Amino acid sequence: MPKLNVLVAGSTGYIGLQLIKLLVKHKYVNIKYLCGNSSVGKKISNFDKSLSNIKLPKIIKFNKKLLKDINVIFTALPNGEAQDISKHLNKDIVLIDLAADFRLEKSSDYSKWYKQKHRAANLIKKSLYSLPEISGKKINKYQIISCPGCYPTSILLPLIPLFKNKLVKVKNIIIDSKSGYSGAGRGVHKKYKNKNLYESLSAYGVGYHRHNSEINQMLKKFTKKNIDFIFTPHLTPMFRGILSTIYIDLENGVTQSKVIKELSNFYKEDIFVKILKVDSLLSTNDVINTNNCHISICKSKYKNKIIILSAIDNLIKGGAGQAIQNLNIKFNFPIKTSLQ
């Protein structure tokens, strides 16, 4: 089988570097171009020493002429930039975006939450918001694949099956998520220069974090009711990993064991989602450097309420790994390829 020629745009950020480290292990991929802006002419190993002994192209500036021999573009760019690249796609190129450019189905919602006009609104209908375990083979119909945000990945994987099967109430949901500081991107130290990232815990985006929009959009697909949830993210003094704690009310007659059984059945064919034994405690350490999501359903002191724990590696399952999982589904490669 001939290898896919791949271009990575935004190759020096935390997600871009993680993507490259996974792609170099992918036996069906050839990394043809690495693109950046401020890093043009540099070796990618300047940004990650673990890539020093791997033959990779030097970083160049993106231009549309590069696309003549490309099969797949991965974009790990600031919000808005993948929209510009998408305008140059021919019908044979697949775009897999790791930013937010095609996550929202309405351009007006994008403008509201991201404070900029969508520059490729006519292409939104050609894109799919693809959480792989949920989207499955639908991905085959779309040229532009939008990867979910890291927080929503940890939240939607446990909640979608429960909403779909009407096991939990759609009101009074509290979502408390904590992420390693890599989730804020390479500019995190400049952005939070007055905070001690290595020894403090910081809440941010309180009440209005952008990921509220995609969480709400996806959950509403599985219920006709209005959803009432509060989502608060935090940066923690660790580099990577997300732990989301979700407090949610059960529908009448639903038990903790029924929830665990439903999730176990829903994900029985999905090797990257693991439903743990009842009341299991988990940590980000259980999933670091993997494409796994671990989910635990815990009882609370209230009979009709459960506490869901969900852990992922934000750079892999919440980013680069999920992008490759989508690639593998789209091109019918074994799902584990480069993700073991």
Instruction: Quote the strand ranges of 221-339, DSSP E.
Output: 229-236, 242-249, 273-275, 293-299, 305-312
Q: Which amino acids are annotated catalytic?
A: 150
Q: Residue 156: CB partners within 8 Å, gap ≥ 6?
A: 131, 134, 148, 215, 218, 219
The CA angle 54-285-27, to the nearest 5 degrees, is: 30
Tokens of 80: 């808005």
**310 closest CA partner among 133, 139, 192, 138:** 133
Q: What are phi and psi of 146, to 5 degrees?
A: -105, 120
For residue 161, the surrounding DSSP H or E stretch is helix 150-164
Secondary structure string (H, E, C) spanning 1-32: CCCEEEEEECCCCHHHHHHHHHHCCCCCEEEE
Contact, 287 vs 314, CB < 8 A? Answer: no
Contact, 291 vs 187, CB < 8 A? Answer: no
SS3 180: strand
What is the side-by-side strand order in the sheet with 293-299? Answer: 202-203, 229-236, 173-180, 242-249, 305-312, 293-299, 273-275
Q: Which residue has the tokens 């292990």?
A: 25
Q: Compute the distance between CA of residue 34 and CA of residue 66 in angstroms, rounded to an integer.
A: 11
Contact, 20 vs 56, CB < 8 A? Answer: yes
Q: Residue 255: CB partners within 8 Å, gap ≥ 6?
A: none
